């Protein structure tokens, strides 16, 4: 069974992976409910258990025709007994690194090169060593229609099923998650196989390193690190090399060497290859050989989901209203969305006040953030009117039949909520009404919405969906 499972695993994982981890396991005992594997090396045991157990279970299920529980035990001196305390801490890593010390091998605990050949350190350490942010994982990325395609392409590449997507070229505006997704590919590859040699760098750093190597006459090393000692090249902001001829020349050769040896390349950029200014045609055309994927600004649902996720990650309670206000105020940049949320929460804490919409609006104003596509009162009146088959002049007029006065009150509520204009100003914009009329309408609808479960709450939800699309 184990050999059959190995065969299946070999079709899914690369050879290095199989050699490093799976070939170091041996079957020990098999009942009809459980397969016990032994690993002599505690690192192998922990690593496989933490990272590959699902895969093994699946392969065994295919091979055995039924699901078996998989257990991996320490084979070193094991006499058929389960090892206690299978949740080994990372203490052995220090021991391992000490052993390396004595043998004169590379010693730094988080030295990337030594890790490749020896102990799988914890993933964050690998990620940090490669210059990436451990937070930029697929798990932390909120998927919506604006980024779904690129997200899927990145996942395909990271899982190794994206061989045809080489290179993968990601483009999109500022703060939309390009760097995040680029690093997510690297992190996921490292998670699947910590021996993957991931090079992550921005095009600017590439250029700086090139210049330094030229100065110090270490070009051979510079070239080697990319052309030979690299399985996955992640280049951020490739647009930077536009107009920089010798950097382009060098990158051209790097690209060719990696491409020819079947290594994956992923790049990000603010424009499509063809739109990039100052990029030689031969490079631009190569950038388009694989897959070109774009990221668009997130739509309202995704902005809300991102805010909710960030709030949850930081253990923040964020009211629906505040979330909505932020998501409608900041539309085209996730970094800004995230930053504003955190600043707001910090300021509310400093002021020792709950973060409600009033405070949030005040803070937004102070941070100088206007509604990017702010709703105005006219727009709200028109939308409400047409929703109820009325004319804008009905809403602004003074007739008080229910069919008119109720939509009018809803329009007032929505206007106050989404424009934040003062009651007297709103009174003027609703055809010269007293500010108390607007205030009363606002309070009434607000109460109804808060109670939920009535026709007013439902109508407001529908109207907001229309207005905030």
Do residues 207 and 244 touch, judged by C-beta distance below 8 A? yes
Pairing of strands 34-39, 264-269: unpaired
Residue nearest to ligand ADP (CB): 177
Min CB(269)–Mg ion separation in Å = 10
- Which residue lies nearer to ligand ADP by CB, 75 or 175? 175
Say whether the peptide bond before residue 101 is cis (omega within 30 degrees of 0).
Answer: no
Q: In what order do the strands lie in the sheet with 25-30?
A: 25-30, 34-39, 69-74
Q: Scan residues 312-371 and list those touching Mg ion (CB under 5 A).
A: none
Give the count of residues interacting with Mg ion (CB under 5 A): 2
The alpha carbon of 280 is separated from its chain's Cα centroid by a whole number of angstroms, namely 31
Q: Scan residues 153-192 and list those touching Mg ion (CB under 5 A).
A: 178-179
Which residues bind to ligand ADP, rule: CB under 6 A? 140-142, 147, 172, 174-180, 306, 334-335, 338
Do residues 24 and 50 touch, judged by C-beta distance below 8 A? no
Do residues 353 and 326 touch, judged by C-beta distance below 8 A? no
- Which residue lies nearer to ligand ADP by CB, 132 or 426? 132
> Residue 4 binds what, of ligand ADP, Mg ion, none (CB under 5 to 8 Å, by partner type)?
none
- Which residue lies nearer to Mg ion by CB, 155 or 179? 179
Place of tokens 């095009």: 203
> Residue 174 binds what, of Mg ion, ligand ADP, none (CB under 5 to 8 Å, by partner type)?
ligand ADP
Residue 175 assigned as binding residue: yes
Distance CA(469)–CA(459), nearest Å, equals 15
> Residue 68 binds what, of ligand ADP, Mg ion, none (CB under 5 to 8 Å, by partner type)?
none
Residue 131 assigned as binding residue: no
- Which residue lies nearer to ligand ADP by CB, 42 or 175? 175
Give every CB contact of residue 327 below 8 A, 6+ residues apart in sequence. Answer: 300, 303, 304, 307, 337
Residue 75 assigned as binding residue: no
Min CB(270)–Mg ion separation in Å = 9
Residue 177 assigned as binding residue: yes
Do residues 371 and 365 touch, judged by C-beta distance below 8 A? no
Tokens encoding 357: 């919409």
- Which residue lies nearer to ligand ADP by CB, 173 or 424? 173
Q: Per the annotation, where are the binding residues?
A: 175, 177-179
Residues that bind Mg ion (CB under 5 A): 178-179
């Amino acid at each position: 069974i184990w050999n059959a499972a190995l065969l299946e695993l070999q079709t899914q994982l690369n050879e290095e992976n199989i050699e490093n981890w799976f070939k170091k396991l041996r079957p020990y005992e098999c009942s009809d409910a459980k397969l016990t594997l032994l690993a002599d090396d505690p690192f192998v045991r922990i690593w496989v258990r933490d990272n590959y157990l699902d895969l093994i279970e699946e392969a065994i299920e295919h091979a055995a025709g039924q699901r078996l529980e998989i257990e991996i035990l320490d084979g070193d001196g094991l006499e058929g007994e389960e090892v206690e305390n299978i949740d080994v801490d990372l203490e052995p890593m220090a021991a391992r690194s000490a052993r390396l010390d004595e043998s004169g091998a590379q010693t730094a605990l988080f030295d990337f090169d030594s890790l490749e050949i020896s102990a799988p350190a914890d993933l964050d350490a690998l990620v940090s060593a490669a210059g990436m942010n451990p937070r930029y994982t697929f798990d932390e990325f909120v998927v919506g229609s604006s980024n779904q395609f690129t997200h899927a392409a990145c996942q395909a590449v990271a899982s190794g099923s994206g061989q045809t997507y080489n290179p993968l070229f990601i483009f999109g505006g500022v703060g939309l998650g390009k760097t995040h997704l680029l690093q997510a590919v690297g992190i996921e590859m490292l998670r699947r196989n910590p021996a993957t040699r991931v090079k992550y760098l921005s095009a600017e750093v590439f250029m700086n390193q090139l210049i330094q190597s030229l100065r110090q006459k270490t070009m051979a090393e510079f070239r080697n690190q990319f052309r030979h000692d690299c399985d996955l090249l992640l280049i951020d902001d490739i647009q930077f090399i536009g107009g920089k001829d010798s950097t382009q020349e060098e990158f051209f050769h790097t690209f060719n060497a990696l491409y020819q040896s079947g290594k994956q390349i992923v790049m990000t950029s603010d424009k499509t290859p063809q739109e990039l200014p100052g990029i030689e045609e031969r490079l631009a055309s190569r950038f388009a050989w694989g897959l070109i994927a774009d990221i668009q600004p997130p739509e309202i649902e995704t902005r809300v989901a991102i805010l909710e996720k960030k709030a949850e990650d930081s253990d923040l309670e964020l009211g629906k209203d505040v979330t909505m206000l932020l998501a409608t105020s900041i539309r085209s940049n996730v970094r800004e969305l995230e930053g504003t949320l955190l600043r707001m929460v910090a300021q509310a804490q400093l002021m020792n006040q709950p973060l409600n919409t009033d405070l949030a609006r005040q803070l937004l104003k102070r941070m100088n953030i206007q509604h990017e596509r702010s709703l105005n009162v006219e727009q709200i009146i028109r939308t409400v009117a047409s929703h109820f088959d009325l004319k804008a002049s009905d809403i602004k007029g003074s007739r008080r039949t229910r069919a008119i006065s109720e939509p009018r009150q809803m329009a007032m509520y929505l206007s106050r909520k989404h424009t934040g204009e003062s009651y007297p100003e709103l009174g003027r914009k609703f055809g010269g009404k007293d500010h108390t009329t607007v205030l009363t309408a606002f309070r009434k609808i607000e109460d109804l919405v808060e109670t939920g479960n009535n026709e007013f709450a439902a109508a407001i939800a529908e109207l907001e969906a229309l207005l905030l699309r």
